Structure 1
Amino acid sequence: MEKNSLVRESIKSVIKKNFSIILLMIFIIFAFVISSLLPPQILRYIIDNNLAPRNNEGLLLLAYLYMGAIFLIGLFDLAKETLLTIIGQKITKEVRMKMMEKLEKINAMFFSKNESGKIVSNFTNDVDAINSMFTSVIIGMIIDCFKIIGVVVSIWLFSVKLGIIAVLLLPIIYYITRFFQKRMLKAQIDNLVSVSKVNNHISESVKNIRMIKLFSKESYMESNYNEYLVDNYETIERVTFYDSIFSPIILVIRSLIIALIVILSSEQLNFLGVSVGMIAASIELISNLFTPIENLGMELQNIQQSISGIYRVNEFYEISEDAKDSVDLTNILGSNNLSLSFNNVTFNYEDDKNVLENIDFKIKPLERITFVGRTGVGKSTLFKLAMGLLKPSKGSITINGINVYNIPNSEKRKIFGYVDQSFPMLSGTVAEQISLKDNSVTFEQVKESLDFVGLTDYIKTLENGYNTEVKKDNLFSQGQKQLLAIARAIVTNPPILLLDEITASLDSITEEKIITVLQKASQNHSILTISHRLSSMISSDKIIILENGKIKNSGTPETLLKSDDWYRNHIELEKLTWN
């Protein structure tokens, strides 16, 4: 992928689809710049032809023309901003859609190595920076440059000497503006950092208030808070100082320039040789030089931030994708006669350390397998591999001979049902918690899955039953959430269920109810279970013990109870603990 290809192609696509809007915007930009130069010209004419010779003929018409020019400036400015907003939103949508398409193709390992905040920042801050660059920044720079050129040319036509003065003023105004802008920006950034520290300290204090009081750390926290407040006060003082002196300095410079023009145009010197109307128009035009120059300074500053955003977005878009072979799923989808095979699978997140090594086993249709082992031996990673979310470093995982990694994500819900310890709620109704707003899942399927896990009676007591909006996290208990998670997993009737420590945080009564539901589910599904407490797992056909990323032992519960010391000791320890 070539550098900047995503942004470039997105811009091309937006221009191609909205060519007429682009042409209209170009016309309006030129009209806006030209109309902004009209009022000083009309003012010059009024003064030289009407006010100076005291001639009232046509004065009312000129006044209307002057007001009309001001109105046109406002009208073209409104149209310009409207079209820029439309184009900017189209660019933002195009870039984010391409990024989302990319996100769906990236290997799940990417999310293990990168924080979610960084990815969110790519989609929000960086894309907004690109939007700003190709709308307000670049267009703003073009407009400001045309304004400056127009002002200088207009003044030059009045008097070459005035034109030279205007040209000499440009670098002076620019460097003074940039001097203050840089310092104001640094002070504002420092202020944001200090405000962040204050807010974080408040949040941390509230969150840990019990611990602070328990260990008598009030004075320590107060001392830190006072330090952050002082720092925040100093940064605000700097921001206020630069902000307060910048405008007066610009006003003083503008006044000095106006005074200089008036003196040079006086009867005593008559250095410029221009009329009174030209002097008035030149003063207004030179006054208009300050705003575009100030804007240029900020735009040059913003363009650097936008370029960084473009770089980060394209860096995201250049993340490599694993090529997936096309597969025929005809004999898999809708069938319960599926066997899952791990074929000498090795996997590592880092090149030098294997999480799993030479994992080799086969799960027959409707077989129940439980994976046990100490924390960190790779049980959850094994599940991610089984569902094709991660790609093995070596070996393969297949279902009836088809590599699971090549199965499209859109089809995996029909094959795998995954239940975790947590149940992430989404915005929507109770029914939508199960269907996940998937149109292929019918309301009847939702009702059947909820009835299967035994939640129908409770849901009927809710205000709107299945259509009750889930707005409060306390609408369901922790045990009910786990039952909802099971209903969500089985609603598409997948042949394989994967259960990851789903009873770890539940009380014994709720745990027993969930185990009963799972025992019922095991009659029609192959079930893979990760269980920390062996005494709480559903009855299994086989238990696989993992140790240091390898299969240490496997067999039926009865066989392992006789032959494996670790398994037997673990069972006995749990019995002592619970008794």
Structure 2
Amino acid sequence: LFDFMKEAILTVLGQKFTKEVRLEMMEKLEKINAMFFSFNESGTVVSRFTNDVNAINSLFTSGIVGMVVDCFKIIGIMFSIWLFSAKLGMITLFLLPIIYAITRLFQRKMLNAQIENRILVGKVNNHISESLKNVQMIKCFSKESYMERNYTKYLLDNYKTVEKVNFYDSVFSPIIKLTRAVAISVIVILSSKQLNYLGISLGMVAASIDLISNLFTPIENLGMELQNIQQAISGIHRVNDFYREPEDDVKNDERQAVALIPNRKEVRLSFNEVTFHYEEGTEVLQNINLQINGGEKVTFVGRTGVGKSTLFKLILGLIKPSTGSITINGVDVYSISNAEKRKIFGFVDQSFHLIKGTVADQISLQDNNITREQIKNALDFVGLTEYVISLENGYDTQVTSETLFSQGQKQLLAIARAIVTNPPILLLDEITANLDSITEEKIVSVLQKASHAHTILSISHRLSSMIASDTVVILEKGRVKNVGSPEMLLRNDDWYRSHIALEKLAWG
């Protein structure tokens, strides 16, 4: 009955502990700096939430209890041996540091192997996730063997670390048994008639041998638990590393979007000596100084890798400038709360990411503050209302497949998602890059319609497909090379003029 109660209580407490740790980790994930996701693969993050937390849970549900019981057994047996003979007690005490040194040596070896194993488990999980996500591309390009080789490599590396752990675990027990045999032999020799060093009777010798054998049993049990303990410790290390990741600064500006921008024509977006570089990396952007006014349409152009998308991340407040600031009507965008930022900025990415839920959820992102009327207006604006109504359950149709919408329709959904809150500023990141010319023309016409009521910032590689812009900003090596109207740049900027000429030649 006691064992049943113990197991039941430990199971309940263990599950509660696991739940609380994962909830805290999710809260941390929501606060963590966006830079974290640039350097950590999704499979590695998932592994911390699953495998590492499960390892810690096993320590609390079984490992700690077993350790405490075994420690009390060791103390009790040592006390009994000391009562038999102080000399025998001293010999036994001399053995403990030796056993501790052996245990500590194996502990360190196993901990390193376990941490390495945890990292490789994350890589294996990430590879599986990546393979499932890109299965169509893998099959189209006949890369099954390549992905299989990579998976086999990660799996073999992981297997080697597991073998290393198992080796240390299997060697530890025989070494403890050998130490016990040596200790018993020494006691028998010291208790012989010739030496009689311990001064105890034959019966007490037999009892002492039994006690020393029993002393090594909990020590051996501790060694058997060593692998589970080390797994848990390596899990704790990785979870602690996760908790130590830098968080976003507190968004302490509580002003609402309406108060910040009372009139959408009175928008003033300023870049003040903005420089940005990744940790221990070269500068991506250097000394950017710009001012964009309400209703203005600005296109950022330049070669791949000059920092255009990074600039948008800075505007959205996802990352913080290394030096300088970006302000909207004098308020640093990084200090504005995320909830209010959605009312200020509408962001359209190169690809549309579906979420679990209905068609309406794809637009609102399950934000209860967005009404059904706003969703209908957004879909009507981009011209998708007729198609959505034709679906089985209309706006409430569950999106269970990527094939429910074409590539062009997904991009229109992305625009609808961006404009549903009617934000004064739209950011468009190369949104026509993967579309055919007919779909591209339709999307550009939708954006031209949106441009009358919004300040629009766009990134474009194809200058021929960019929406009619008041200003073009040319970026080169992270700096602003030139700023002006398309007509002015066509006359004065060699790079812009040659780029336009090349595109015309390609179309011709």
Please confirm whether the aligned pair reaches a TM-score higher than 0.5, indicating the same fold: yes
Q: 1:525 to 1:144 in 2, by over 3 A?
A: same
Shift of 1:374: 2.6
Counterpart in the other structure of 2:74: 148
Partners of 2:19 and 2:120 lie apart in 1 by 36
1:567 maps to which of 484, 496, 506:
496
Counterpart in the other structure of 1:550: 480
Partners of 2:239 and 2:155 lie apart in 1 by 36
Higher-Rg structure is 1
Aligned amino acid, residue 417 of structure 2? R
Q: 1:364 to 1:475 in 2, by over 3 A?
A: same
Aligned amino acid, residue 348 of structure 1? F
Counterpart in the other structure of 2:438: 509
Aligned amino acid, residue 522 of structure 1? S
Counterpart in the other structure of 2:294: 364
Aligned pairs for 1:229-240 (under 5 A) are none
Q: 1:302 to 1:196 in 2, by over 3 A?
A: closer
Q: Is residue 2:329 matched to residue 1:400?
A: yes
* TM-score (norm. length: structure 1): 0.66
Aligned pairs for 1:99-138 (under 5 A) are 99-100=28-29, 102-103=31-32, 106=33, 108=34, 110-111=35-36, 114-116=39-41, 138=64
CA contact (8 A) 2:58 2:228 kept: no
Shift of 1:373: 2.5
Partners of 1:511 and 1:194 lie apart in 2 by 43
Listed one character per residue, the Cα deviations across residues 483-504 of structure 1 (whole Å, up to 9, x for unaligned) are 1111110111111111111001
Shifted more, 85-94 versus 485-494: the winner is 85-94
CA contact (8 A) 2:173 2:223 kept: no
Partners of 1:201 and 1:402 lie apart in 2 by 42
Counterpart in the other structure of 2:285: 355
Aligned amino acid, residue 438 of structure 2? I
Partners of 2:489 and 2:312 lie apart in 1 by 23
| RMSD of Structure 2 on Structure 1 (CA) | 5.2
Shifted more, 188-197 versus 352-361: the winner is 188-197
Aligned pairs for 1:97-496 (under 5 A) are 99-100=28-29, 102-103=31-32, 106=33, 108=34, 110-111=35-36, 114-116=39-41, 138-153=64-79, 271=201, 273=203, 289=218, 292-295=221-224, 297-298=226-227, 301=230, 305=234, 308-309=237-238, 312-313=241-242, 315-316=244-245, 321=249, 324-325=252-253, 327=255, 329-332=257-260, 335-349=263-277, 353=283, 355-365=285-295, 367-496=296-425
Aligned amino acid, residue 526 of structure 1? T
Aligned amino acid, residue 484 of structure 2? S
Shift of 1:324: 4.8
CA contact (8 A) 2:10 2:61 kept: no
Q: 1:253 to 1:462 in 2, by over 3 A?
A: farther
Partners of 2:27 and 2:277 lie apart in 1 by 27
CA contact (8 A) 1:155 1:285 kept: no
* TM-score (norm. length: structure 2): 0.74
Shift of 1:572: 3.1
Listed one character per residue, the Cα deviations across residues 25-55 of structure 1 (whole Å, up to 9, x for unaligned) are xxxxxxxxxxxxxxxxxxxxxxxxxxxxxxx
Local SS of the residue matching 1:527: strand
Local SS of the residue matching 1:414: helix
Shift of 1:445: 1.8
Q: 1:327 to 1:393 in 2, by over 3 A?
A: farther
Q: 1:272 to 1:159 in 2, by over 3 A?
A: farther
Shift of 1:571: 2.6
Partners of 1:519 and 1:543 lie apart in 2 by 16
Local SS of the residue matching 2:343: coil
Shift of 1:513: 1.3
CA contact (8 A) 2:306 2:475 kept: yes
Identity of aligned residues (%): 52
Aligned pairs for 1:530-545 (under 5 A) are 530-545=459-474
CA contact (8 A) 1:174 1:297 kept: no
CA contact (8 A) 2:359 2:398 kept: yes
**Paired residue total:** 490
Shift of 1:536: 1.2
Aligned amino acid, residue 290 of structure 2? D
Aligned amino acid, residue 294 of structure 2? K
Local SS of the residue matching 2:334: helix
Partners of 1:197 and 1:129 lie apart in 2 by 17
5+ residue gaps in structure 1? 1-70, 263-269
Listed one character per residue, the Cα deviations across residues 120-166 of structure 1 (whole Å, up to 9, x for unaligned) are 66666666666666665555533331233245557778999998898
Q: 1:158 to 1:452 in 2, by over 3 A?
A: farther
Partners of 1:229 and 1:116 lie apart in 2 by 17
Partners of 2:170 and 2:266 lie apart in 1 by 74
CA contact (8 A) 1:429 1:466 kept: yes
Partners of 1:186 and 1:567 lie apart in 2 by 55
Shift of 1:399: 2.8
Counterpart in the other structure of 1:51: none
Listed one character per residue, the Cα deviations across residues 312-348 of structure 1 (whole Å, up to 9, x for unaligned) are 245325x683775554644336743342332443222
Aligned amino acid, residue 141 of structure 1? M
Shifted more, 240-249 versus 393-402: the winner is 240-249
Aligned pairs for 1:10-21 (under 5 A) are none
Local SS of the residue matching 1:316: coil
Partners of 2:209 and 2:201 lie apart in 1 by 16
Shift of 1:481: 1.1
